[in-house]
A and B are shown apart, each in its own frame.
Chain A
Amino acid sequence: EPEVTQTPSHQVTQMGQEVILRCVPISNHLYFYWYRQILGQKVEFLVSFYNNEISEKSEIFDDQFSVERPDGSNFTLKIRSTKLEDSAMYFCASITGKGEKLFFGSGTQLSVL
């Protein structure tokens, strides 16, 4: 079965630093998502991306966050100036279209010190 790939699996950074989390969605998928899960809490929606633009974003996805699909294959999440509360597992996901199965990556564990 095809997989969504995320790198790195773990990222440790200092508060205030910029981080970029990388994802390679499945090649024929059209919709892309970022979710996060703070330890012990639920999986939270951050942003959805379609046709090279954000289609929906949550309250969590403030000006410190941005997403990009720079080269038609990678899908990145950038956090401009990390805060302690950004520490979480970040999941990328993709689907071919409406109502289809959502495929998740294995996640990037971000630790902000």
Chain B
Amino acid sequence: AQRVTQPEKLLSVFKGAPVELKCNYSYSGSPELFWYVQYSRQRLQLLLRHISRESIKGFTADLNKGETSFHLKKPFAQEEDSAMYYCALSGYSSASKIIFGSGTRLSIRP
């Protein structure tokens, strides 16, 4: 079964502290993994995807196939990082549907 699990509904950290948003997945095959972000009153937007191996706004995420995880990390949180974060996956074989996790609300305290 295809599934994305984000165990934390809410994560609250102080500004400047490290952040790690957890994501685990279940997929029979090789999925493509993404992180999407939704800032207050804005649309869902792509933050990063694992095939790009890029760092966006200081965030990185490494795909760990052994642990089937794709945790999102940032060494020093900023107040503007407060948002809803969704981990998601899709199959490589086609432009197939993207399956979202339930999301984690990240709150950065000043």
- From B43, B51, B95, B98, give the contact of A97 (CB < 8 A): B95
A27-63 to B contact mask, C-beta < 8 Å, 1/0: 0001101010000011111001010000110100000
- Take A42-B103, A43-B44, A105-B43 as given contacts and tell me if A99 and B32 are in contact as well, using a CB distance cutoff of 8 Å: yes
Q: A111 near B: Cβ within 8 Å?
A: no
Q: Which residue of B lies closest to A106 (CB)?
A: B43
Q: Which residue of A lies closest to B6 (CB)?
A: A42
B89-103 to A contact mask, C-beta < 8 Å, 1/0: 000101111111111
Contact A43 B97 (CB under 8 A): no
Number of A positions contacting B (CB below 8 A): 26
Contact A95 B86 (CB under 8 A): no
A16-27 to B contact mask, C-beta < 8 Å, 1/0: 000000000000
Number of B positions contacting A (CB below 8 A): 20
- From A55, A91, A98, give the contact of B44 (CB < 8 A): A91
Q: Which residue of A lies closest to B41 (CB)?
A: A106
- From B46, B49, B95, give the contact of A50 (CB < 8 A): B95
User: What is the bound-complex CA distance between A97 and B95, given in angstroms?
Assistant: 6
> Which residues of A from 95 to 113 have beta carbons under 8 Å from B?
95, 97-102, 104-107
User: What is the bound-complex CA distance between A98 and B93, given in angstroms?
Assistant: 8
> Which residues of A from 56 to 113 have beta carbons under 8 Å from B?
56, 58, 91, 95, 97-102, 104-107
User: What is the bound-complex CA distance between A41 and B101, given in angstroms?
Assistant: 10
> Which A residues fall within an 8 A CB radius of B?
30-31, 33, 35, 41-45, 48, 50, 55-56, 58, 91, 95, 97-102, 104-107
